Chain A
Amino acid sequence: MLFQSRHPLESKIGSGSSIRAVDHLEIPRSVAIATVLSHPDETAAVVAGFAAAGDLVMRNVAPGEWLVLSHIERSDSLERRLSGLLTDIADVVDQSEGRVLLRLSGPNVRRILAKGVAIDLDPSAFAIGQSVNLRCGHIAVNFARSGENEFELVVMRSFAESLLEDLLLMGREFDLSYGFSGGLADPD
C-alpha cells in the first residue's frame, strides 16, 4: 500500500496568493524536525555534536532542549542520524509530522510580527540566528530570525491553520502574500 502524505495547510493554502507581494509567508512542504533532549550535564557535548554535523539547523527551546531542522533529510533519516550522533548524551524524538514551519520575509515583517509577538524584534535585541519559544497571539511557537527581514515560526500541527489565519490578518495591512515553497507566487 502506498499512503499519501498531506500537509496540514493543504486545503487552506491550495495554490496560495496569485501575486507574490514584497512581504511573503512561505510554507516549505517538507521539513524534517526532531526534538533533542540532552541528558543531564551533556548539554555542551550535544551542542558540539550539532556543530560537528555542520548542516543541521538548531533551534533553542529550553535548557537542554532543541528542535533540529533539516530541509534536505527525510524525517526518519534525520532521527536516525541524530540518534547516532548523540548516542548516550541525548534522546531524539521525530516531530516532523507534529510541527509545521512557516517563513515570513519582507521589509515589513517586523511590523507584522509585532502584532502578535511581544519581544523586541530590533536586530540589536534579537539577532540573526537567534531562536526562542514564545507566544504569537494565542499560540505557542518556536521563533527564529533567519535573516535581517526573515523569520521562521515552528508551530504545533494542530494549531497551524489558526496561526496561518492570524498571520494573514496581521499581514493584511501590507498585502502579505502566502503559498507553499515552489508555489505559483514563489519565483524560486
Chain B
Amino acid sequence: MTGYRLPNSGLVDRAATLEFRFDGKRFTGHAGDTLASALLANDQLLLARSFKYHRPRGLVTAGVSEPNALMTIGSGARTDANTRATVAELYAGLEARSQNNWPSLKHDVGALNNLLSPFLSAGFYYKTFMWPAAFWEKLYEPLIRRAAGLGRAVLESDPESYEKCWTHCDLLIVGSGPAGLSAALTAGRAGLRVVLAEQDFRLGGALLSETTTIGEQTAPAFAETVLSELGTLPNVTLMPRTTVFGWYDDNVFGAVERVQKHVAQPLAKLPVERLWRIAAKRALLATGAEERPLVFGGNDRPGVMTASAIGTYANRFGVAAGKSVAIFTNGNAGYRTAEDLARQGVGITAIIDTRADAPSRSAEALKDVRIIKGAGIIDTMGGQRLNKLVFERSGYEEVIACDAIGMSGGFNPVIHLACQRGARPVWSVELDTFVAPDVGGGLSIVGAAAGRYSLSACLADGAEKAATIAADLGFAATSYEAPAVGEEVDPSFTALWYVPGAKSKAFVDFQNDVQARDLGLALREGFGHVEHAKRYTTNGMATDQGKLSGVNAAGILAGMRGVSPAEVGITTFRPFYTPVSFGALAGTARDMHAAPKRVSPLHGWAERNGAVFVEAGLWYRSSWFPREGEKTWRQATDREVLNVRENVGLCDVSTLGKIEVFGSDAAEFLNRLYCNPMAKLPIGKARYGLMLREDGIVYDDGTVSRFGENHFFVTTTTGLAAGVLSHMEYCAQILWPELDVRFTSVTDQWAQMSIAGPKARDVVQALVEDDISNKAFPYLSAGVVTLKGGLKARLFRISFSGELAFELAVPASFGESVADAVMEAGRAHGICAYGLEALNVLRLEKGYVTHAEFDGRVTPDDAGFGRMVSAQKLDFIGKRLSTRYGLTAADRMQMVGLKPVEKDKTIRAGAHLLKEGAKPSTINDQGYVSSASFSPVLDHDIALAFLKSGRERYGERIVVWDRLKNEETVAEVCEPVFVDTQSTKLKV
C-alpha cells in the first residue's frame, strides 16, 4: 500500500494545513481530515500492533468500527487511550502515539507471540494459566496484562470538565445520511421539534463519500443544501460530533457530544464532552449499514481494508490507499469502489470476485481492469506493507502484485440501538444478514439500517417514515421529495463467510486476534453457542464489540454446524454503542459538586469561634472549638465538656430534623408512630419519643412538643431526618389515610442552639423577656418566647448532657446574631462553644443513646427503655412484632456501662466482650462496645456496650477484646450512667 493525497477530490480544506505528530514524527494534514486519513495521506500504513500476536496492523475502516487503529492521543493529564484514529478529528498540534508495542511500533518484541501462535489458540489462557491458583494474581495476570494490551490510562486527575444535559423532542433522528436528512427535512418542515444527531464531525453521513449525483448536485453538495435549510428551521437542532450510544426505557436516549475533543486548548467555560439524555416522543434510526470484511488468509496485513473505507478515503478525504489496488468482492458494491478509484486515476490491479456467475459490468472506467470471477484470495505478502496477493481459482494459484486490497463482503445494517432493550436481531434471508425486529412505536428503523441500501430508497424511506410519525403526533406533513438520484450502486451480493484454502491466518476479529479456526475449536470443545463461542474465543469482546466480526462469526459457526445463521443468532447488543468516557458519565458531579453540602445557619458563628468542621451526612457540623495552645481534638473536647459541667456551653443543634405536625388526628397519628404514649402530651410540654420499625427494632428517637390541641412539633436525629419524614408520609398516606393529619419539614427554618450547664438559665434569661425560672418553665417545657427586642423564638427545656439545658430556636437568618448575643451574655459566666465531640462525651457520661446504640439490632428494652413502650396502646408501629420471643429473650444483649479496671486502659467502640479466660470466638462472644470515650469528669475511659443479660451482670469483670488494635482491656460492667447518677442537675 502506498497512501497518497489525490490532487483534487475530497471535502478537506486544502488551504488549511494542520501539523500533527504520530510517535514523535511530524506530519501534516488538512482541516476536514481524520487522524486516520491524514496518516494514510502521509503513507503511514503501520499504525498498531494486534492485541495477542502483536501483528503489524493498519487501517481497516474509515469509521467507528475500526478494530486496529487505536491510538493514545494527547499529552500529560490530557491523554486519551484507545482512541480510534478513524474518528479522531485532526487539529493543529494533535499528538498521537501507537499502543501495545515495545520498544517501537516497527520493531516490536511482542511479535514473538506470532511465532508461538500454535500454542496461543483460543482458550489458551483458560487452559494454561489455571494452575497453581496462586500464580494467577502474582505472575500470570501481570505478564498477560503487560503483553496483551491496549493503551495505558494516565494517573493524573482529569483536568477537563464535563457536563450533562437533558433535551426533549418530538423526533430524534440518529444519523445524518440520506435517510436521516430527508426525515429531518420532512419533520422539520412540518413543525416537529427535531434533534438530528450525527457521530461524525461533519453532517451528511454516506452522502459525503458518494460519487453519484442527486438532481443537478453532487451528493455532498446536496447534503449541504438540505443542511442549510435545516439550519434555518428553529425547531430543528443539528448535533454533529454526537454519538447516540444507548436506547433506554421510555424512549430516553443517551448521547455524548464531543464539544472540544477536536481542539488543542479547550475553552475553560465549555465542557470537553457533554452527556445528553434525550427524551424523544419518537426516534428514527438512520444509522446506515456497515460493509463486511471477508475472512481470508492474510486478511490483516496493513493495506487490506474494506472497499467502502478505500472509497471513503478517496471520495471524502481525497486520499488514495494505494497505487495498485485490488478489489476482493462477493457482490457488486466492490465494482463501484473500483470505478470511483479508477476515475480518480488510481490504478486497479484486478477485481477478484468470489462469484463464478457474477454479472458482467461494462463501466467505461473499468474497461482495462482484469476481472477474475469464481476466485478467492488465500494469502497476502509483504510483511508490514502489503505488496502481493495470492488467489486461487479452480485449483490454480496465482500471485498478483498490489499495494492495497479492498474487501467487500456484503452489508450489515447498523441496528445496535434497536436491539439494546431485549429485542433479538432476526435473520433476513433476502439480505443475508441480521436485521432489527419490530421494536414498537417509539423507534423506527429507516434507510440502509433497515436494509434499504440504495440512495433513492434511503431518501424516500426517511421522508415517508418521518411523515408517518408527524401525522401520528398530530402534525400535517408531506414527505420531502428528493431530486432524482444518478447512477445507483447495486448492493446485491452472495454471502461468503470464509474463503477456503487460507494459507495463513484468516482473521474474523482483528482487534482480539480471533481466527476462523478458533471458532472451529470452540465448536469442537462444546462452546458452539454464539454466546459461548464469544467468551471462549473472545470474538466480539474487544473495544469495537464485534462491529465487524459479529455477523461473520455467526456465519462461520452456522457453516460449521450446518445450519442457517438464523439458528446461531448473534451476541447481545448492549449500551454503549461506542466507548464513552467516565468523565462524561460523571458530568459535573465530581469534587465539590459530587454531593451538595448542607450548611447550618450557625455556620458563620461557628467559624468565627474557630470551629473545626466534620461532615455528617451532607451537613458540615462543628466538631470542636480549639483554643490557643490546644493541639489535639481531645484537649479542646475535654475543656468543652468540663466547662459545660461547671459553667455553660453553646452547641449548634440546627441540623436535627424538625417537622411541624397539624390536624385533628395529629395526636392519634403520633401515638401510633411512637412506641410511647403521645396522645395526652399537654400543650406546652416536650416528651422524648421512641420510634420503632414494624419489626420491633428501634428506628429513631427525638422529641415531640405540643404547641396546640392540633399542633405538634417533632424532632428527629440529624442522620435519619429524611428517612423519618418519608416514614411519616408513608404512614399518613398509605397506612392511615383516614387520619386528619398533615406535616411539613421546618428543619431549615430554625437555627437551634443548645445552651447547657449549671449557669444556662442565667445566660438564656438575659436574652428572653419571659420568665424561665424552674417554676415557670420546668424541665420538659416547650413554648414560644419573646427575645428582648421583640424577636419571636421557641424555647425547649430539654437536655442531652444531663445538665440544666435549654434549646433555643430562632428564625434561621437571626441565628448567628442570637448566638453572638448568647456568647456575649454568657461571657461573665464562662460560656464556651462546644462541638459534636463534646456533645458525644456529655451524653455518654449520662448514658444517653444515639444511633451508635440504635444500630438496627436493638429493641427499646435492650437499651433500657422497656418501660417506655406502651402496653395500653391498641396499636403503634412495631407493637405486634416487638413482643415475639426473639426480641424478648432473657439472654438478649442489654445496654450496660463499662469502666476499665485499670484506669489508664483504653476502651474502643467496636471491640467485643469476652468472659475472662475465654478464647475469642463467635460462640464465646458476649457482646460489643457501641460507644466509648475518655471522660474528663472521671479521668478515665467510659463506654456503652451491649452485653448478654447485661443488666444482671453489674459488677462483673469482662474482657474488652479489640482485634483491630490487638488490645485487651479488663473492664467492670456497670449501670450505663457515669456522671450525676441521680440526675440532680437536670431539673433544677
Q: Verify whether A and B have any Cβ pair under 8 Å.
A: yes
Interface residues of A (CB under 8 A from B): 1-8, 11, 35, 37, 39-40, 64-65, 75-76, 91, 93-99, 111, 114-115, 117-120, 122, 125, 137-139, 156-163, 165-166, 169-170, 172-173, 175
Judge whether B814 and A170 touch: CB under 8 Å.
Answer: no
Judge whether B595 and A138 touch: CB under 8 Å.
Answer: yes
B857 at the binding interface (Cβ < 8 Å): no
Judge whether B747 and A98 touch: CB under 8 Å.
Answer: yes
| Extra 9 A-B pairs, beta carbons < 8 Å, given A138-B589, A159-B598 | A1-B787, A6-B814, A39-B740, A91-B662, A93-B746, A156-B748, A158-B599, A165-B593, A169-B593
Judge whether B599 and A95 touch: CB under 8 Å.
Answer: no
Q: How far is the CA of A65 from the CA of B733 in the complex (A)?
A: 14
Residues of A within 8 A of B889 (CB): none
Task: Give the secondary structure class of B's interface.
Answer: mixed
Q: How far is the CA of A40 from the CA of B742 in the complex (A)?
A: 9
Nearest CB in chain B: distance from A95 CB, A: 6
Judge whether A8 and B601 touch: CB under 8 Å.
Answer: yes
Nearest CB in chain A: distance from B583 CB, A: 15
Judge whether A8 and B593 touch: CB under 8 Å.
Answer: no
Residues of B within 8 A of A40 (CB): 740
Residues of A within 8 A of B589 (CB): 137-138
**What are 12 of the A-B contact pairs (CB < 8 Å)?**
A6-B816, A37-B744, A96-B749, A97-B601, A97-B748, A97-B811, A98-B749, A137-B596, A157-B812, A158-B598, A161-B599, A170-B163
Which segment, of B164-172, B297-305, B317-325, B682-690, faces chain A? B164-172
Give the residue name and chain of the A residue nearest to B792 (CB).
A76
Would you list the 9 A-B pairs with minimal beta carbon distance, nearest first? Answer: A98-B749, A98-B748, A162-B596, A120-B168, A97-B812, A158-B598, A91-B662, A157-B748, A1-B789
B130 at the binding interface (Cβ < 8 Å): no
Nearest CB in chain B: distance from A166 CB, A: 6
Q: How far is the CA of A64 from the CA of B163 in the complex (A)?
A: 36
Judge whether A1 and B165 touch: CB under 8 Å.
Answer: no
B361 at the binding interface (Cβ < 8 Å): no
Nearest CB in chain A: distance from B802 CB, A: 29
Judge whether A158 and B600 touch: CB under 8 Å.
Answer: yes
Residues of A within 8 A of B787 (CB): 1, 3
Q: Chain B: how many interface residues by the 8 Å CB criterion?
A: 52
Judge whether A3 and B749 touch: CB under 8 Å.
Answer: no
Give the residue name and chain of the B residue nearest to A138 (CB).
B596
List residues of B (570-624) whose CB comes within 8 Å of A's CBs. Answer: 588-589, 592-593, 595-601, 604, 619
Residues of B within 8 A of A119 (CB): 166
Nearest CB in chain A: distance from B752 CB, A: 12
Contact of A93 among B164, B597, B601, B744 (CB under 8 A): B744
Given A4-B814, A5-B814, A91-B662, the answer on whether A115 and B746 have CB atoms closer than 8 Å is no
List residues of B (645-668) whose CB comes within 8 Å of A's CBs. Answer: 660, 662-663
Residues of B within 8 A of A114 (CB): 165-167
B881 at the binding interface (Cβ < 8 Å): no
Residues of B within 8 A of A139 (CB): 596
Contact of B597 among A94, A95, A162 (CB under 8 A): A162
Q: How far is the CA of A6 from the CA of B818 in the complex (A)?
A: 11
Q: How far is the CA of A6 from the CA of B742 in the complex (A)?
A: 30
Nearest CB in chain B: distance from A57 CB, A: 18
Residues of A within 8 A of B789 (CB): 1-3
Judge whether A98 and B596 touch: CB under 8 Å.
Answer: no
Give the residue name and chain of the A residue nearest to B767 (CB).
A1
Q: How far is the CA of A161 from the CA of B620 in the complex (A)?
A: 12
B152 at the binding interface (Cβ < 8 Å): no
B269 at the binding interface (Cβ < 8 Å): yes
Judge whether B662 and A120 touch: CB under 8 Å.
Answer: no
Give the residue name and chain of the A residue nearest to B167 (CB).
A114
Q: What 1/0 mask marks residues of chain B from 745 to 759 whose CB sits below 8 Å from any chain A CB?
A: 011111000000000
Judge whether A3 and B791 touch: CB under 8 Å.
Answer: yes
Judge whether A96 and B596 touch: CB under 8 Å.
Answer: no
Given A37-B662, A93-B660, A165-B592, the answer on whether A117 and B791 have CB atoms closer than 8 Å is no
Q: How far is the CA of A76 from the CA of B793 in the complex (A)?
A: 12
Q: How far is the CA of A170 from the CA of B588 in the complex (A)?
A: 9
Q: How far is the CA of A76 from the CA of B814 in the complex (A)?
A: 14
B217 at the binding interface (Cβ < 8 Å): no
Nearest CB in chain B: distance from A67 CB, A: 10
Residues of A within 8 A of B814 (CB): 3-6, 97
Given A3-B789, A166-B588, the answer on whether A125 and B817 have CB atoms closer than 8 Å is no
Residues of B within 8 A of A39 (CB): 663, 740, 742
B193 at the binding interface (Cβ < 8 Å): yes
B258 at the binding interface (Cβ < 8 Å): no
Judge whether B748 and A158 touch: CB under 8 Å.
Answer: yes
Nearest CB in chain B: distance from A168 CB, A: 11
Nearest CB in chain A: distance from B263 CB, A: 15
Q: How far is the CA of A3 from the CA of B742 in the complex (A)?
A: 32
Residues of A within 8 A of B810 (CB): 3
Q: Which of A5, A11, A98, A160 has the most CB of B within 10 A?
A: A98
Nearest CB in chain A: distance from B49 CB, A: 41
Q: What 1/0 mask marks residues of chain B from 782 to 797 whose CB sits below 8 Å from any chain A CB?
A: 0000011101100000
Residues of A within 8 A of B816 (CB): 4, 6
Q: How far is the CA of A157 from the CA of B663 in the complex (A)?
A: 26
Q: Which of B269, B601, B744, B746 has the most CB of A within 10 A?
A: B744
Give the residue name and chain of the A residue nearest to B163 (CB).
A115
Judge whether A4 and B817 touch: CB under 8 Å.
Answer: yes
Judge whether B166 and A97 touch: CB under 8 Å.
Answer: no
Judge whether B747 and A37 touch: CB under 8 Å.
Answer: no
Q: How far is the CA of A123 from the CA of B865 in the complex (A)?
A: 57
Residues of B within 8 A of A118 (CB): 166, 277, 279
Residues of B within 8 A of A138 (CB): 589, 595-596
B270 at the binding interface (Cβ < 8 Å): yes
Residues of A within 8 A of B604 (CB): 6, 11
Give the residue name and chain of the A residue nearest to B592 (CB).
A165
B821 at the binding interface (Cβ < 8 Å): yes
B504 at the binding interface (Cβ < 8 Å): no
Nearest CB in chain A: distance from B657 CB, A: 12
Given A3-B814, A114-B166, the answer on whether A158 and B592 have CB atoms closer than 8 Å is no
Residues of A within 8 A of B595 (CB): 138
Residues of B within 8 A of A5 (CB): 811, 813-814, 817
Judge whether B599 and A120 touch: CB under 8 Å.
Answer: no
Judge whether B812 and A98 touch: CB under 8 Å.
Answer: yes
Nearest CB in chain A: distance from B313 CB, A: 36
Q: Which of A97, A99, A169, A170 has the most CB of B within 10 A?
A: A97
Judge whether A98 and B165 touch: CB under 8 Å.
Answer: no
